Amino acid sequence: MASPTSPRLATTLCGIRLNNPVLAASGTFAYGVEFESLLNLNHVGGIVVKGLSREPMNGNLPPRIWEAEAGMINAIGLQNIGVRAFVAEKLPGLRKVKTPVFANVFGYSIEDYEEVVRVLEAQEGIAGYELNVSCPNTEHGGQFFSSDPGLLSEVVGRVRRVATRPMIVKLSPNVAKIEPLALAAESAGADAISLVNTFVSLAIDARSRRPRIGNNFGGLSGAAIKPIALRLVYEAAKAVKIPVVGLGGISTGEDAAEFLIAGASAVEVGTASFWDPRSVIRIAKELDAFCESEGVERASGLTATLRLH
């Protein structure tokens, strides 16, 4: 019987042992502890908590979510309780879970990133960090960390000097070429990269002639972005030597297998958790069943096996 803890699925990411390569993506699984009544958190490959900032943030004005034809547009605005409240209120519960926990970190200046990681460094119960670099740097005129290799290298390098735990850098797809950004993150000290984040998008109400999202623009996720995400994962994995974590429209075990084949060492499940809170475990089981049906001894053996024509 397929199992999320099958030996076929066991793997490592940045030296961290995982039951399986299917992680819960940031922003879609709250802080993890909120899901403990719905599923066994110890069966999840890893938990990437909701993005943490230096101070609490209320997020954007509603409406903040719009269901698109094959996905979802959101403009939550990185609402969160702040890193210190996370340490006091959420981390104690996460310490009881065996599943590795990754803290997603973001900021609007390099000092923001440094301070959040500095606070977390003093705490037990965190396996590693995921830096969300899809934010505008307010000290550089709003230039996005994720779109400039130099700026990206600077923030990763500065956080690297603070962080003793493994560090994943989450890249944006809203760039002309992904390879320079992937290489910049690697050179600056990233232990892995994850991609993709959401695609900047616009939904319009034709009758009111206004955006359907209160913040005007939002991030598109879900099935619609999977083919593009697969291409970007493939390109990034070919460019760097560090592991790649793939995400973008994964809702089945076969989807997860496709990302591994494209070059990912692990995957993250995001939007699917909104309509199926147990999806991260279901997908791991389906991946195990896929490997069994295809005669694959270890899921990790799928990584980077794409054969182009």
User: To 5 degrees, how large is the angle CA 32–CA 38–CA 39?
Assistant: 75
Q: Over 90: is that where the pLDDT of 44 sits? A: yes
Residue pLDDT, tens place only, 68-82: 999 999 999 999 999
Q: What band does 66 get if pLDDT is binned at 50, 70 and 90?
A: very high
Q: Over 80: is that where the pLDDT of 41 sits? A: yes
pLDDT of residue 137: 76
pLDDT of residue 136: 80
* pTM, 2 dp: 0.97
Give the residues across from 194 on adjacent strands.
170, 245
CB 4 within 8 A of CB 253: no
Q: What band does 15 get if pLDDT is binned at 50, 70 and 90?
A: very high
Q: Over 90: is that where the pLDDT of 258 sits? A: yes
Q: Over 90: is that where the pLDDT of 231 sits? A: yes
Q: Which of 90-99, 144-153, 180-189 has the lowest mean pLDDT?
A: 144-153
pLDDT of residue 139: 77
Task: Find the mean pLDDT for residues 6-17.
Answer: 98
Phi, psi of 85 (to 5 degrees): -70, -35
pLDDT of residue 1: 84
Angle between helices 110-121 and 149-162 (to 10 degrees): 20
CB 203 within 8 A of CB 213: yes
pLDDT of residue 143: 79
Sign of CA dihedral 25, 31, 35, 41: positive
**How do strand 128-132 and strand 101-105 relate by DSSP bridges?**
parallel
CA 128, chain centre distance (Å): 13
Q: What band does 13 get if pLDDT is binned at 50, 70 and 90?
A: very high
Residue pLDDT, tens place only, 153-170: 999 999 999 999 999 999
Homologous superfamily of 11-60+78-200+220-302: Aldolase class I (3.20.20.70)
Catalytically annotated residues: 135
Query: What's the mean per-residue pLDDT of the chain?
Result: 96
Task: Find the mean pLDDT for residues 64-71.
Answer: 95
Measured CA to CA, the distance from residue 172 to residue 198 in angstroms comes to 7
State what percent of residues in the chain have pLDDT above 70: 100
* Neighbouring residues of 150: CB distance < 8 A, sequence distance ≥ 6: 184
Residue pLDDT, tens place only, 263-290: 999 999 999 999 999 999 999 999 999 9
Residue pLDDT, tens place only, 117-154: 999 999 999 999 999 998 887 777 777 899 999 999 99
User: What's the maximum distance between 2 C-alpha atoms anywhere in the chain?
Assistant: 55
